């Protein structure tokens, strides 16, 4: 499937759609390091192909955009508050079309028995079970552990779609 096919698939969804964008490795380049410096996120390079897709989708009147991003572990170098602040500065610059109130930062590090992450699964399960606002919910992420952790939800809820970031890049 080409990135155009993926975009068309989203645009063809009937009714109101919510797209939850991962930040690290999806909207912004990301290097996994053990000690995150204070301003680590501010100077991250954007992934232009993904940002262009997000901008295009933001022009559709029936799609609300959200950022769902995990904060790094707190350390002597960075606190959750500082990580959230610097991620927000980056988002202000590169994703002005995503409202500030639609930014969701999580600190959940829980790992499921199969090695996949639980945090986003738990978030989406709650959203899907209590959803009264959206006909479709789309989750876009680059991390296969998050994707695999949520695949069971895609089978359980026919209005939930997972898209690997690679599907938006040619």
| Residue/partner pairs of 99-103 with CB below 8 Å, 24 or more apart | 99/65, 102/64, 102/65, 102/66, 102/67, 103/66, 103/67, 103/69
Euclidean distance between CA atoms 87 and 102, whole angstroms: 13
| 118-to-43, 47, 132 alpha-carbon distances in Å | 29, 26, 23
The pLDDT of residue 146 is above 50: yes
| pTM for this prediction | 0.88
CATH number at 3-168: 3.40.50.1000
* Confidence grade of residue 149 (pLDDT, cut at 50, 70, 90): confident
Task: Tell me the pLDDT tens digit for each residue of 56-109.
Answer: 999 988 899 999 988 877 777 777 888 888 899 999 999 999 999 999 888 765
């Amino acid at each position: 499937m080409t990135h155009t096919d993926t975009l068309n698939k989203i645009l063809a969804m009937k009714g109101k759609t919510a797209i939850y964008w991962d930040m690290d490795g999806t909207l912004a380049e990301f290097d996994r390091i053990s000690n995150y410096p204070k301003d680590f996120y501010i100077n991250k390079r954007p992934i232009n192909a993904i940002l262009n897709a997000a901008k295009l989708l933001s022009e559709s009147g029936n799609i609300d955009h959200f950022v769902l991003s995990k904060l790094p572990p707190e350390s002597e170098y960075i606190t959750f508050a500082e990580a959230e602040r610097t991620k927000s500065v980056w988002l202000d610059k590169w994703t002005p079309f995503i409202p500030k109130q639609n930014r969701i930062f999580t600190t959940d590090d829980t790992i499921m028995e199969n090695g996949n992450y639980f945090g986003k699964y738990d978030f989406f399960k709650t959203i899907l079970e209590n959803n009264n606002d959206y006909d479709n919910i789309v989750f876009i992420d680059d991390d296969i552990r998050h994707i695999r952790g949520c695949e069971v939800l895609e089978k359980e809820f026919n209005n939930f779609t997972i898209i690997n970031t690679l599907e938006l890049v040619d």
